[in-house]
Structure 1
Amino acid sequence: MGAKDRVGRAGEQLAREWLTRQGLQILDANWRCPIGELDIVALDGDELAFVEVKTRTSTAFGHPAESITRAKLARLRRLAGAWVAVHDVHASGMRIDVVAILRRSGEPTLVEHVQGVG
């Protein structure tokens, strides 16, 4: 596993822990199907949250959340539909969230949870 993969996996673990502390129930993590992968699926009250985690070690290429493009949102919507189709989970609504994590050397880790991005 390369350095980028290690940073990403560590970020996903941190995001799961952070979301759990915020009261969300993690239902699935790193769920894969032929069209891609969902980082985290969580239940927030009676609403499903499909969470994309973006972790960076600097802002040289922008804030981590800025990497969520329209095309990425469209893919996340398709993935959310695929997940719901194969799981027996009933919720009052669904949303796509982003957890942006910035882990700069020598500085505190920043975690930002943006709800309902698309």
Structure 2
Amino acid sequence: MALHNQLGIKGEVLAEEHLCKKGFRIIERNWIHNKNEIDLIAENDEFIIFVEVKTRTSGNWGNPEEAVSGSKIRRIIEAADYYLDSHDVEKPARFDVIAIVVNENFTRIDHFEDAFLAPLN
């Protein structure tokens, strides 16, 4: 497996642990609709959240959260819209980004709640 894939998997595991500590239950991992992937879908009593996880080994090329592009946001929203419709979800949805910097010296996890909003139809 390529090093960047291993790093991505490690980041998603760290993000899952982080969410569970905050009281969320993971309901989907790497959920795909029409080639649009959502890294994690989680819920608590209040929300269902769609999470994009970005992991880096350093901030030398920018912070991980800066790598979430407008086109990626549109794809996440499209997939989330389908998920909500097909699963009859009654809870309000939230879109979060979890940015992780992890290397042999330290691990930093930044959780951006409501990182972006879906457009109103």
TM-score (norm 1): 0.91
SS in 2 for 1:61: coil
What is the RMSD computed on CA atoms of the aligned residues? 1.2
Task: Determine the C-alpha separation between the residues in 1 that align with 2:71 and 2:33.
Answer: 18
1:53-86 alpha-carbon deviations (Å, 9 max, x no partner): 0000011210000111222211111111121122
Task: Determine the C-alpha separation between the residues in 2 that align with 1:42 and 1:88.
Answer: 15
Q: Percent identity?
A: 34
Runs of 4 or more, structure 1, over 2 Å off, are: none
2:36 match: 36
1:97 match: 96
Task: Determine the C-alpha separation between the residues in 2 that align with 1:64 and 1:2.
Answer: 19
Task: Determine the C-alpha separation between the residues in 2 that align with 1:5 and 1:35.
Answer: 18
Question: How far is the alpha carbon of 1:110 from its aligned partner?
Answer: 0.3
Q: Which runs of 5+ in 2 are unaligned?
A: 117-121
TM-score (norm 2): 0.89
Q: Which runs of 5+ in 1 are unaligned?
A: none
Question: Within 5 Å, which residues of 2 pair with 1:75-114?
Answer: 75-91=75-91, 93-105=92-104, 107-114=105-112
